[in-house]
Amino acid sequence: MSEALALNALVLAGAMLILWRIAVRIGDVSFIDAVWGGGMGVLALVSWVQLDAPGARASLIAAITAIWAARLAWHLFTRWRVHGEDPRYAKILGKARAQRRYGSAALKVVFGPQAVLLFFTCLPAQLGILASGAPAPIGALAMAGGALWLVGITFEAVGDRQLNRFRADPANKGRVLDTGLWRYTRHPNYFGDACVWWGIWLAASEAGLWVALGSVIGPLFLTVTLTRWSGKPLLEKGMAERRPGYAEYVARTSGFVPRSPKRG
């Protein structure tokens, strides 16, 4: 197990170093958001191929992780290609760029920390797969995890599609999306992301208590990040000033878990 995790870490480190060099060459690290999802898919698949005889549960966890990763990576990559450099990263690395320290700052502030956080967030998939050699059938807990994953990826995919269509209409410039899933939660994609990884954790937990305890840091960190750190708080900061009606939208709409909007 430790050797397999070490190999995963080496693969991730090597990939991050290559991508870091690309980012320095083009002067933009913004594609790291796509790497976040794609990297977890790679770790899941590398874990799966290291098993001599993967059980059904290992294949399930690898498949649902890879499907989620591919969808999110493609969505974020195409968004980056259309919109260019993310203002968040431009602000974070602006001083370093001016002082000709862009390369070292990109490694220390973006790619290095992202690699560490990605590895630990993906522990449910890694440990769940590595502990599920044959026969390891798919039991009730793994099926429950798969069902929660399905809810999550549906919220993510539908929410992203609704937002893309809304933004594509020039008539909606400056307006607030408050229809579809966005009527019930201000962040259906974040809620979906959390459901996906709690679902993967549930499926992995069927391998044993040690897997459940050893990997719970992944979905816990992700949920806290989305709700308290760089997700919802950062995205909503100053939104009320830029978009008329956003304060009213916040007042009536759940910030995370979907529920009927408040009246009045």
pLDDT digits (tens, 9 = 90+) for 132-164: 999 999 999 999 999 999 999 999 999 999 999
Same domain, 100 and 227: no
Rounded to two decimals, what is the model's pTM? 0.93
State the Cα–Cα distance between residues 71 and 232, nearest whole angstrom. Answer: 21
Q: Tell me the C-alpha to C-alpha distance, in Å, between residue 83 and each of 22, 30, 86.
A: 18, 10, 8
Residue 116's domain comprises 1-135
The residue from 106, 135, 164 where one domain ends is 135
Number of C-beta neighbours around residue 53 at 10 A: 9
State the total domains in the chain: 2
pLDDT digits (tens, 9 = 90+) for 238-256: 677 778 888 899 999 999 9
Same domain, 237 and 145: yes
- Does residue 186 contact residue 249 with C-beta atoms inside 8 Å? yes
Q: What is the percent of the chain with per-residue pLDDT over 70, rounded to a whole number?
A: 99
Same domain, 47 and 35: yes
